[in-house]
Amino acid sequence: MTSTLFDLHGRVAVVTGAGTGLGQAMAVGLAQHGADVAVVDLSLTATDQTVAQITALDRRALGIACDVAQPEAIPRMFEQVDEQLGPVEILVNNAAIGSHTRPEHLGLDEWQRVLQVNLTGSFLCAQQGGRRMIPRRKGSIINISSIGGATALGRGNFAYGISKGAVLQFTRDLAVEWAKHNVRVNAVLPCQFRTHGLQAVIDDPQFDSDNLISRFLVGIPINRLGEPEDLVGPVVFLASDAAAMVTGALLPVDGGNLALNAGGSHTW
């Protein structure tokens, strides 16, 4: 008998920041397990490739241009999902921006922009998703945080780390608030994953690229960078009935990074 624990057929998912990288991998992975997916990114051009991959799986896909830093755009985005795919049951809050500015040089505009996208945008998407999930008493919200939200990364990740740490507390509080409605809220904490965003950091002239990669790997006992596909299994699990009793969880997908003491080593 085939298990249906991870079967997402008949469910509608919204994935923000889904045009490339982690968001694309998660959106396609949810579709591979049966979900219909709203692919959200800054422009429709950015969503095209992900939409094509999902429709090739014979699942419904909807590309939506939405900047989660614009509060008025988020209700309109969810209305489009309602009209064209149906009520959302799975929300992956993945849209985020980085920041690599030392605290003493960080401008207020950059600080506010990072918090607006990474924290406020996630909250407003969760609020819209929750308003649809609560009456139906079914839903899973998955917030993509970071190891930088649980421990300090340094190297000017100040605003980014604070925003991702806030996402963890937002996850805990919302999980408690909405547990009575059977709406589950969990977070995933990736380490450094091989994405366009990470490559931009590696190529940034303020860093020594070879030393930076070596520094990443010193903190990852599995001894490799994450690949976008490494997030698919954890996210499908949290979205599915296999995680029916899981809420408020903060799941590291980090190759052992958070398990490793800062003074420890995975080499002899």
Catalytic positions, written as ranges: 160
The C-alpha atoms of residue 168 and residue 174 are separated, in whole angstroms, by 10
Maximum Cα–Cα distance across the chain: 60
**Helical spans, DSSP H, in the chain:** 21-32, 44-55, 73-84, 108-115, 121-136, 158-178, 196-203, 209-218, 232-239
Q: Of 223, 152, 224, 226, which Cα lies nearest the Cα of 195?
A: 226
Q: Read off the tokens for 51.
A: 């939409």
The C-alpha atoms of residue 167 and residue 163 are separated, in whole angstroms, by 6
Half-sphere exposure of 53 (CA within 13 A, CB side): 20
In this structure, are strands 90-93 and 36-41 parallel, antiparallel, or unpaired? unpaired
Beta bridge partners, 15, equal 39, 92
The C-alpha atoms of residue 265 and residue 268 are separated, in whole angstroms, by 7
